[in-house]
Chains A and B, each alone.
Chain A
């Protein structure tokens, strides 16, 4: 509120601070949207090569290729979104108790446990997936949504657990103790005091798990294909082969659920934060 009353009179004269601000924001915008402009241009390019600064011919023929009825782009996109949402749900369900325990309760080998969660991200996956696929073939999980979700969860858990641990650790223990002293039970305290305070961190980790799932293609291929097809596989094939148009279009398609998910999470967050302010 103070900011508003502050800026009202100054709106009339030129705010000199806009000069450095504008330059910095402009540079940042160039750094961020320059490469993105490239992506957008390639998505509608028919022909583009040296020495032409901009595409020679625009069109949507590659969109037709991506969306051709047999290409299953929409089915893959739907699969990817379902898997991502499930991966977020499972990861959070596992990470919230684990994070709380790691942050608050005395655990033997705590450091080692945290390190273990990091291994799926840290160790190159290709040699491991053969063994994972073999295991899944044996127990019939190959070619199922559940199988793909589990693979994505193993990768997402490092974000979920580490961030949840940090979020719970950052909460003042005295707040919980205060709740307990006025008669709240441990579960009630957790639900009404601890969880809401950790929510911003948990939601951020949800976004990362979601994005991680939408980026993943090696595990999706070994465990999902050919029955469960995922959009990032198409993205990978096109991208690695230098098919800029198809890769750009696929990336734009994946942008929709990613940005959408973040907006939903943010709306949820904002309402939550506001309600706490009003209390």
Chain B
């Protein structure tokens, strides 16, 4: 018993000290390319800078389901009373950062790392209405937009109104995935409420929550129901991309990061373009978080610091994936040549992004919109 105790104290002491050879476990939600990114790019880079340590990545699957599985993993360890958790760094969707902070699973590490100062965007402090400042560092910002086939859509709709008019003339040519098959469809619905809901979009995004707002949306959902009857429903985020790539629909909402991955992997014709309609569609960051009971907390902080350094954000996130950086753009831009930087804005210009790149509504509105859709617009 005594030796066991000694062994544990020793292990604990080792855990606090910068361990000489640790295995850093990074659990990430998102597509397989997130796992590949950590395994093939970030991991080797980190191991070179901090020799003797190894990085291993575990993927939990795309979409909210992936982040939900990370939340549940934390919940299981919290309930079991584990002293050392088996996750050092996790990458989760914005929506799950708030609940994780509220449940007390996370470490407020941002003040400890240098790159923490390089983030000023509001969504690094608030996540769907919950204060998360200090607990998260954005890995990248993603955005939903409409992807369209220029051969079939000569003048892409610049706003939701134009889209409605266009879809009326071209039945079944617009496709989206409802709300159960992934967040690109959800995002389209949120944009619809921003456009036609009669609520102030800023209030939906920043709060406060008032029951009365919910009543205002009835008309918007009725028109959405009618609109949906004239649209093609697709199976999931990937389903929208799939139908676009095989020419069955001409336009549909997609995640910009997924869209570029599909093009890079040869599953999407290079001609397909993006447009961000007014008043805008939501986007969200993916956040790096560190559990409060991570076994290698020091190393985890170093890992996130490296991952959010301007150089890695430039080379890894922008150049490699064509994703919007997580830290402020002005720190990243100098790291890149002009061509790589401008490629980010091929279809959607920075001004468009600033004006029409919205966030998701705060959690209570978010849930209310989804439930209202289920009750009123699903047919």
Verify whether A and B have any Cβ pair under 8 Å: yes
Which residues of chain B (272-307) have a CB below 8 Å from chain A? Answer: none
Quick one: which of B59, B242, B246, B262 contacts A233, CB cutoff 8 A? Answer: B59
Chain B residues with CB under 8 Å of A126's CB are 72
Contact A242 B58 (CB under 8 A): no
B31 contacts the other chain (CB 8 A): yes
Interface size class, chain A = 35 or more
Nearest CB in chain B: distance from A2 CB, A: 52
Contact B267 A244 (CB under 8 A): yes
Chain B residues with CB under 8 Å of A48's CB are 266-267
Nearest CB in chain A: distance from B332 CB, A: 26
Contact B39 A49 (CB under 8 A): no
Contact with B along A124-135 (1 / 0, CB 8 A): 001001110111
Of the listed residues B30, B59, B247, the one surrounded by the most CB atoms of chain A closer than 10 A to its CB is B59
Chain A residues with CB under 8 Å of B44's CB are 70
Contact with B along A14-41 (1 / 0, CB 8 A): 0000000000000000000000000000
Contact B76 A134 (CB under 8 A): yes
The interface stretch among A101-109, A155-163, A223-231 is: A223-231
Contact B32 A241 (CB under 8 A): yes
Chain B residues with CB under 8 Å of A238's CB are 32
B82 contacts the other chain (CB 8 A): yes
Chain B residues with CB under 8 Å of A51's CB are 247
Nearest CB in chain A: distance from B176 CB, A: 15
B343 contacts the other chain (CB 8 A): no
Which residues of chain A (126-157) have a CB below 8 Å from chain B? Answer: 126, 129-131, 133-135, 137-138, 142-143
Contact A246 B86 (CB under 8 A): no
A123 contacts the other chain (CB 8 A): no
Chain B residues with CB under 8 Å of A237's CB are 31-32, 35, 59-62
Contact A246 B32 (CB under 8 A): yes
Chain B residues with CB under 8 Å of A244's CB are 267
Which chain B residue lies CB-closest to A224? B58
Nearest CB in chain A: distance from B109 CB, A: 20
Which residues of chain A (213-230) have a CB below 8 Å from chain B? Answer: 218, 221-222, 225-227, 229
Contact B35 A142 (CB under 8 A): no
Provide the bound-state CA to CA distance between A38 and B318, in Å: 33
Quick one: which of B39, B61, B237, B258 contacts A236, CB cutoff 8 A? Answer: B61
Nearest CB in chain A: distance from B92 CB, A: 15
Provide the bound-state CA to CA distance between A274 and B348, in Å: 71
Which chain B residue lies CB-closest to A138? B80
Which residues of chain A (29-87) have a CB below 8 Å from chain B? Answer: 45-51, 56-57, 62, 65, 68, 70-71
Provide the bound-state CA to CA distance between A129 and B237, in Å: 26
Which chain A residue lies CB-closest to B242? A242
A234 contacts the other chain (CB 8 A): yes
Given contacts A133-B73, A222-B76, contact A49 B32 (CB under 8 A): no
Chain A residues with CB under 8 Å of B247's CB are 50-51
Chain B residues with CB under 8 Å of A70's CB are 39-40, 43-44
Which chain B residue lies CB-closest to A246? B32
Contact B245 A50 (CB under 8 A): yes
Given contacts A49-B269, A65-B36, A133-B72, contact A226 B25 (CB under 8 A): yes
Chain B residues with CB under 8 Å of A68's CB are 39-40
Contact B76 A130 (CB under 8 A): yes
Contact B76 A221 (CB under 8 A): no
Provide the bound-state CA to CA distance between A51 and B261, in Å: 20
Quick one: which of B27, B32, B266 contacts A47, CB cutoff 8 A? Answer: B266
Which chain B residue lies CB-closest to A70? B39
B265 contacts the other chain (CB 8 A): yes
Nearest CB in chain A: distance from B59 CB, A: 4
Provide the bound-state CA to CA distance between A245 and B88, in Å: 30
Which residues of chain B (10-47) have a CB below 8 Å from chain A? Answer: 25, 27, 30-33, 35-36, 39-40, 43-44
B81 contacts the other chain (CB 8 A): yes
Provide the bound-state CA to CA distance between A246 and B265, in Å: 10
Nearest CB in chain B: distance from A212 CB, A: 20
Contact A242 B267 (CB under 8 A): yes
Given contacts A50-B246, A222-B72, A222-B76, contact A137 B60 (CB under 8 A): no
Nearest CB in chain A: distance from B160 CB, A: 26
Contact B76 A240 (CB under 8 A): no
A243 contacts the other chain (CB 8 A): yes
Of the listed residues A68, A137, A245, A246, the one surrounded by the most CB atoms of chain B closer than 10 A to its CB is A137
Provide the bound-state CA to CA distance between A178 and B203, in Å: 83
Provide the bound-state CA to CA distance between A226 and B56, in Å: 8
Query: When A and B form their complex, which 9 residue pairs have the shortest distance between CB atoms, in order from nearest?
Result: A242-B238, A47-B266, A137-B80, A50-B247, A241-B31, A133-B76, A134-B76, A241-B62, A50-B246
- Residue positions of B touching A, CB distance < 8 A: 25, 27, 30-33, 35-36, 39-40, 43-44, 56, 58-63, 65, 69, 72-73, 75-77, 79-82, 86-87, 236-239, 241-242, 245-248, 258, 261-262, 265-269
- Residue positions of A touching B, CB distance < 8 A: 45-51, 56-57, 62, 65, 68, 70-71, 126, 129-131, 133-135, 137-138, 142-143, 218, 221-222, 225-227, 229, 233-234, 236-238, 240-246
List 17 additional A-B contacts (Cβ < 8 Å) besides A45-B266, A233-B58: A47-B266, A49-B269, A50-B247, A65-B36, A70-B43, A70-B44, A129-B72, A133-B77, A137-B76, A143-B86, A221-B58, A222-B69, A226-B25, A226-B86, A237-B60, A238-B32, A242-B258
> What are some 18 contacts across the A-B interface (CB < 8 A)?
A47-B267, A48-B266, A49-B266, A51-B247, A68-B40, A70-B40, A129-B72, A130-B76, A131-B76, A222-B72, A225-B27, A226-B27, A226-B87, A236-B61, A240-B238, A241-B31, A241-B62, A245-B265
